[in-house]
């Protein structure tokens, strides 16, 4: 094994092949594919009735489009200069895939929350997707162009500076680092920031299954079951094969848990199952919720989500974990500071992978429409910090820090890239709008939103 100084020197040497300024470049490839065709390809084997809803959610804004088009950006960044230094990556690292949640010890932390596309890949790809999402979020808040670029740049700077801090830690120290809610309040420099942070934390602590259950369940003939709210939550039809699959899926899932967590799971039994639409890019995948009760009607609600091949695989090769649910769980456990104790995976009879987690455990993400520009600046820096922590835990902070250095070359480059690719996302968003107007893609009004996709 090489020392920290040796790895840092190797990282610095990577600048010879890939100068940091090269990361500012965005130019569409001459053979860049039809973005609508790419999205249509990604719809293969999704639940057909939900595909119009997926498009509707992507058509809410350019940022929503970015959230649903990980496959498009993966294809784009794969053709750009990179150091080819790989580590476990999120794969879909936009700012709305960060948030608050509870550790198994009931502490509230901030971290990356979505790992559906997680794969070993060039580390730059995560940072680039994050800064683009920050630029688009700033546009939603009507920020000036200079402010948009500044926020993208500050996100990259936060990543670089915090990575340098983590680089000085031992592997064991790094493994235990977490962005704890209390610490974040204490580190906030301004009273206003402290108050906003405290408000978010208080809201997260209220988001428990006990608080949610009365809103999503009802008693029918004395039996507790989910309330149908189609197309967002709905029960399978009696002929739906998922009902026959659940016992086998649960048995496989149980086998993926550690022994002591099987003991905990075994204290509950399944009483109801429903489909539940989640996110933007995941709409149309086989996602559901499973209601489990103990003999005294204490509830555990699990979320089950279809696990497909990562959008990065086409560009970095197949994962050594052939089970896609296992791939996602592995990425989450490796990158997060602490993970849901009910994380696990299973396959159905047709070979589709799934992963499981709790539906709600103080999980909270902050909506862009709830932010001021000051809030967005604080949040973007926090996301950069969280990504640096995840990369340092999952990979080698010394090599990346050696490449980044202590100057602002990388920050400047990412600020420019964030703006350039945000322009591309807006152009692609307009292309999707035209496809909806022409009837090329199906769209319905999302009942979760006040406005239709083209209003």
Q: Domain segments of the chain: what residues?
A: 4-206+364-438, 209-358
Return the percentage of the chain with pLDDT > 90, whole number: 82
Which pLDDT does position 106 carry in this prediction?
A: 83
Extended strands (E) in 13-160:
86-89, 98-102, 108-112, 119-122
Cβ–Cβ under 8 Å, residues 100 and 110: yes
Instruction: Tell me the C-alpha distance between 342 and 334, whole Å.
Output: 15
Instruction: Tell me the C-alpha distance between 88 and 84, whole Å.
Output: 13
Give the three-class secondary structure for 109: strand
Which pLDDT does position 360 carry in this prediction?
A: 76
Closest by CA position to 382, among listed 205, 138, 179: 179
Which pLDDT does position 455 carry in this prediction?
A: 44
What is the DSSP-derived secondary structure letter of residue 280?
S
Q: 10 Å Cβ neighbour count for 163?
A: 23
Mean pLDDT score of the chain, rounded to an integer?
A: 93
Q: 10 Å Cβ neighbour count for 93?
A: 27
Q: Which two tokens stand for residue 373?
A: 């520009």
Torsion of CA 362, 110, 311, 438, to 10 degrees: 70
Sheet holding 344-347, edge to edge: 233-234, 269-276, 287-293, 299-307, 353-358, 344-347
Give the helix/strand (H/E) hosting 180.
strand 179-180
Give the three-class secondary structure for 125: helix
pTM: 0.95
Instruction: Tell me the C-alpha distance between 34 and 240, whole Å.
Output: 34
Reported as a single tens digit per residue, the pLDDT across 175-199 is 999 999 877 777 666 666 667 777 7
Instruction: Tell me the C-alpha distance between 234 and 225, whole Å.
Output: 11
Burial of 146 from C-beta contacts in 10 A (0-12 / 13-18 / 19+): exposed
- pLDDT digits (tens), the chain, 455 positions: 899 999 999 999 999 999 999 999 999 999 999 999 999 999 999 999 999 999 999 999 999 999 999 999 999 999 999 999 999 999 999 999 999 888 888 888 999 999 999 999 999 999 999 999 999 999 999 999 999 999 999 999 999 999 999 999 999 999 999 999 877 777 666 666 667 777 777 887 777 788 889 999 999 999 999 999 999 999 999 889 888 899 999 999 999 999 999 999 999 999 999 999 999 999 999 999 999 999 999 999 999 999 999 999 999 999 888 899 999 999 999 999 999 999 999 999 999 999 999 987 678 787 898 889 998 999 999 999 999 999 999 999 999 999 999 999 999 999 999 999 999 999 999 999 999 999 999 999 888 765 555 44
Q: 10 Å Cβ neighbour count for 208?
A: 14
DSSP assignment string, 356-387: EEES-SS-B---GGG--HHHHHHHHHHHHHHH
Which pLDDT does position 369 carry in this prediction?
A: 87
Which pLDDT does position 199 carry in this prediction?
A: 79
Instruction: Tell me the C-alpha distance between 59 and 54, whole Å.
Output: 9
- What are the b/e assignments for 231-255, b being 16+ CB within 10 Å? bbbbbbeeeeebeebbeebbebbee
Which pLDDT does position 248 carry in this prediction?
A: 95
What is the DSSP-derived secondary structure letter of residue 283?
T
Instruction: Tell me the C-alpha distance between 8 and 119, whole Å.
Output: 23
Which pLDDT does position 454 carry in this prediction?
A: 47
Instruction: Tell me the C-alpha distance between 203 and 382, whole Å.
Output: 18
Residue 6 sits at φ, ψ, to 5 deg, of: -65, -40
- Distance in Å from the first CA to the final CA of the chain: 58
Sorted by sequence, the CB contacts under 8 Å of residue 44 that are 6+ apart come out as none
Give Dmax (Cα) for the chain: 71
Sheet holding 108-112, edge to edge: 98-102, 108-112, 179-180
């Amino acid at each position: 094994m090489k020392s920290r100084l040796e790895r840092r020197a190797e990282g610095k040497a990577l600048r010879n092949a890939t100068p940091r300024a090269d990361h500012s470049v965005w130019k569409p490839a001459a053979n860049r594919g039809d973005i609508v065709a790419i999205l249509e390809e990604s719809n293969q084997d999704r639940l057909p009735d939900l595909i119009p809803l997926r498009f509707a959610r992507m058509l809410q804004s350019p940022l929503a489009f970015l959230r649903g088009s990980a496959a498009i950006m993966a294809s784009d960044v794969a053709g750009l200069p990179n150091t080819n230094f790989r580590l476990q990556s999120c794969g879909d690292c936009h700012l709305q895939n960060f948030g608050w949640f509870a550790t198994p010890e009931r502490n509230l932390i901030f971290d990356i929350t979505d790992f559906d596309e997680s794969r070993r890949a060039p580390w730059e790809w995560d940072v680039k997707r994050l800064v683009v999402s920050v630029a688009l979020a700033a546009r939603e808040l009507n920020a000036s162009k200079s402010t948009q670029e500044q926020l993208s740049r500050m996100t990259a700077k936060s990543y670089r500076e915090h990575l340098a801090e983590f680089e000085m830690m031992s592997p064991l120290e790094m493994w235990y680092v977490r962005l704890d809610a209390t610490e974040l309040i204490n580190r906030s420099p301004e009273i206003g920031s402290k108050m906003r942070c405290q408000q978010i934390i208080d809201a997260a602590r209220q988001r428990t299954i006990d608080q949610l259950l009365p809103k999503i369940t009802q008693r029918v003939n004395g039996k507790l079951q989910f309330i149908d709210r189609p197309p967002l939550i709905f029960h399978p039809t009696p002929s739906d094969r998922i009902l026959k699959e659940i016992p086998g899926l649960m048995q496989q899932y149980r086998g993926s848990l550690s022994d002591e967590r099987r003991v905990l799971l075994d204290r509950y039994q399944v009483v109801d199952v429903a489909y539940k639409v989640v996110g933007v890019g995941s709409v149309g995948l086989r996602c559901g919720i499973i209601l489990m009760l103990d003999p005294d009607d204490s509830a555990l609600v699990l979320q089950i989500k279809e696990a497909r091949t990562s959008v990065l695989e086409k560009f970095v090769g197949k994962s050594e974990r052939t089970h896609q649910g296992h791939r996602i769980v592995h990425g989450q456990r490796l990158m997060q500071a602490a993970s849901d104790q009910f994380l696990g995976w299973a396959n159905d009879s047709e070979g589709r992978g799934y992963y499981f987690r709790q539906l709600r455990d103080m999980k909270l993400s902050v909506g862009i429409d709830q932010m001021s520009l000051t809030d967005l600046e604080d949040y973007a820096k926090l996301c950069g910090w969280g990504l640096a922590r995840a990369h340092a835990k999952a990979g080698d902070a010394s090599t990346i820090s050696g490449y980044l250095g202590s100057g602002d070359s990388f920050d400047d480059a990412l600020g420019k890239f964030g703006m350039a690719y945000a322009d591309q996302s807006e152009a692609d968003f307009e292309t999707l709008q035209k496809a909806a107007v022409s009837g090329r893609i199906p769209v319905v009004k999302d009942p979760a939103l006040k406005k239709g996709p083209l209003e």
